[in-house]
Amino acid sequence: MYNKVYIEITNICNMNCSFCHGHSRVPRRMSKEEFKLILGKLTQHTKYIYYHLMGEPLTHPQLPDFIKLAGEYGYKSIITTNGTLLSKRKEELLSAGVHKVNISLHSFEDGDDDSYVSYVSSLADFAKAAAGAGTVVVFRLWNKGFDGGKNQTAYNILKENIDGEWAENTRGVRIRNKIHLEWGERFEWPDKGAGIKGKKVFCYGLKDQFGILVDGTVVPCCLDSDGVINLGNIFNEDIKDILCSKRATDMLEGFKCGNATEDLCKRCGYAQRFV
C-alpha cells in the first residue's frame, strides 16, 4: 500500500508563483464521476489522497463534495493550497471533513508587505478554526534564501496570532496541537531542458507515492507537471496493470540502485536530496 496518491482535481491556478514550474497542458477540472472512478480503483492502494500536482484545488467548485466522497470510501483527504481562498471556503471545507491542510506561505514571497501581513493573519485565523474542528494545519516556508525577509515576518505574525508552545523540532516548529510550521529549501523542479543533476538518483516515486493528472494520466511522482513519464491512464486501464508495467518496474528497481531509468528523473533537483 502506498503512503499517498496525488490526484490533480484541477490544473488551474489563481496565482502565478515564482517558485512554481507550471505546465503546458490544456486547463481542465476533473468531474465528480471521474473522481469517483479513481477512488474506486485506488481502494487497495492507499488511504491518503493528496489533492494536487499542479493547480489550486480550492478553485474547484466541487472540492467539498470530493472530500465527502473520499471519506465515504475510507480515504483521508489532504489539501495543499496557496491559502488565498481559505477564508472564502473555510466553512464548507471544514464541514466536509478534510484531514489536513498544507499552506504554502511561500506563494506570497513576491507580494507587497501590506498584502502579505493581511494574508498571513487571515491564515492564522483559519488555522485556529481548523484545529478546533480536528483538522491538521501545516504552514510551509519552503524557500530559504528566496524569501526577502518575509519568512521572519510570517513567523512573527503567526506567533502573535496563535497561542501555543512553539517548540522547535527537526522539521520546523510545533505551534500547538494540530498546527505546525515547516521550514524547507527551495528545490529545482525536473525539466526536460535542465542539465543532469548528478550521477546518483533516488526517489520515493512508485515506492511510497504516485500521481494522477487531471486527464487520468498516471505519473510516478508529484513533480512530473507535464506528464512526461506517462505510465498509463487510470480512466481506461487497471491501476495494477499500470503500476506493474515494465516502464514502472524498471524505474522502481533503478531507484533501489541509485539509477534513473527516465531522463526527466536525471534532471530532478529534488531527487538529489535523498542521495
Give the H/E segment covering residue 7: strand 4-7
- Residues 60-109: pLDDT tens digits? 999 999 999 999 999 999 999 999 999 999 999 999 999 999 999 987 76
Instruction: Collapse the DSSP code of 182 into the 3-class scheme (helix H, G, I; strand E, B; otherwise coil) and give the result.
Output: strand
**Amino acid letter for position 63:** L
d(CA 54, CA 152): 27
Whether this prediction's pTM lies above 0.75 is answered by: yes
- Rounded to 10°, the helix 63-72/86-95 angle is 20
Q: What angle do CA 51, 53, 55 make, to 5 degrees?
A: 85
Helical H runs in the chain?
Answer: 32-41, 63-72, 86-95, 113-132, 150-161, 239-243, 246-256, 263-266
CA distance 119 to 116: 5
Residuewise pLDDT in 10s, the chain (275 residues):
999 999 999 999 998 877 777 888 999 999 999 999 999 999 999 999 999 899 999 999 999 999 999 999 999 999 999 999 999 999 999 999 999 999 999 877 666 778 889 999 999 999 999 999 999 999 999 888 777 778 899 999 999 999 999 999 999 999 999 999 999 887 777 777 766 766 688 888 899 999 999 999 999 998 998 999 999 999 999 999 999 999 999 999 999 888 889 999 888 877 666 66
